[in-house]
Amino acid sequence: MRGMRERTILLGGFSKTYAMTGWRVGYVCAPHDLLEGIVKVHQYQIMSAPTTAQDAAVVALTGAEQDVRRMVDEYDRRRRLVVNGLNRIGLPTFEPRGAFYAFPRISGTGLSSEDFSERLLFEGQVAAIPGSAFGPSGEGHLRASYATSFEGIEEALVRIERFVGTLG
């Protein structure tokens, strides 16, 4: 569209696309006059990405796209396992369409999300984030990551089911 190049800022990162969670590598594309201000803010907020993270980003950008496709397919397989498993256990879960986190509803257990996640950790040996950590609307939910092995997810589901069974 005419005139959009001068008014567009593109921000991106490597966390999701290239499974580089925690590496904190990103990029910005913008008109030069806007970049000057962005650079000023950036340089006082962070120094720079570590060299190893920069090297990994270059490999990710220049690597074969079939690797990304395989990763996406594997995350889809894990997502389906988590969603189906949590729903089967009785923790209603919508299918996530973004990152690799499920957000099951645990309000039917009678526990707050804080109590549920703490007890799940200590009694079930499964770590999850209470939904309340994401604001009042998150209460009654749990954030569960599926950025781990398929086998690890299977084991976590067994432990979650066992834990939920103790709640009566």
Mean pLDDT of the chain: 90
Predicted confidence (pLDDT) at residue 83 exceeds the cutoff of 90: yes
The DSSP-derived string for 62-124 is HS-HHHHHHHHHHHHHHHHHHHHHHHHHT---PPPSSSSEE--B-GGGTS-HHHHHHHHHHHH
The pLDDT of residue 54 is 86
Last residue of some domain: 46, 63, 80?
63
How does pLDDT run across 101-112, given as a tens digit for each residue?
A: 999 999 999 999
Residue with tokens 């957000």, as numbered in its chain: 103
Last residue of some domain: 63, 87, 107?
63
Task: Assign residue 105 a region (left: φ > 0; alpha: ψ between -120 and 50; beta: otherwise).
Answer: beta
pTM for this structure? 0.71
User: Does 73 share its domain with 117?
Assistant: yes
User: Does 88 share its domain with 125?
Assistant: yes
Query: What domain range is 95 assigned to?
Result: 66-165
Per DSSP (E only), the strands in 15-69 are 26-29
User: Does 79 share its domain with 143?
Assistant: yes
Work out how many domains the chain is built from and give that number: 2
